Copies of this chain bind each other. A is one copy, B any other.
Amino acid sequence: MDRESIEETISAIIDCMRTSNHCFSKSLQEEDVLMVKECIRLTRECADVCALALNALETDSAFAKPIGALCAQVCDTCAVECGRHQMDHCQQCAEACLRCAEACRNLAAA
C-alpha cells in the first residue's frame, strides 16, 4: 500500500475506534439496554481490535495484514448488529464500522 492509502486506512480505524466507544457508552445509557446488549459486547471488541490494528500500522508490523483481516471481520459483525437499531449512536457506529471494514479488507489484500 502507498502512504496515502495507509493514511486513509488509519483514519478509518481511528474513526471506528472512537465511534464504537461512543456507541458503547451511549448504549449503556439507553432505557432499553436489553435491546442493545449485543452492541455493547461488539463495540467493546471492535474498539479493542481497532486499537491493535492502529498500533500495527503505526509500527510497521509484519502482521498488519492478518490483523487487518481480523479487524474487518469484527467490524462487519458490529456493523450488522448496530445497523439494526435506529438510535444515532448505533447508525453512526454501523457506518464507521463499514468504512473501517472495507479499508481493513483492502489492507489485508494489498
Contact = CB atoms under 8 A, between A and B. Distances in A.
Contacts of A62: 77
B67 A70 contact: yes
A28 B24 CA distance: 12
Interface of A: 10, 14, 17-18, 21-22, 24-25, 28, 31, 33-34, 37, 40-41, 44-45, 47-49, 51-52, 54-56, 58-63, 66-67, 69-70, 73-74, 77
Copy number of this protein in the oligomer? 4
| Chain A interface SS verdict (over half) | helix
A25 B44 CA distance: 11
A50 to B, nearest CB: 10
B25 A59 contact: yes
B59 A63 contact: no
A2 B22 CA distance: 17
A86 B51 CA distance: 29
Closest 3 CB pairs of A and B: A21-B58, A25-B59, A33-B33
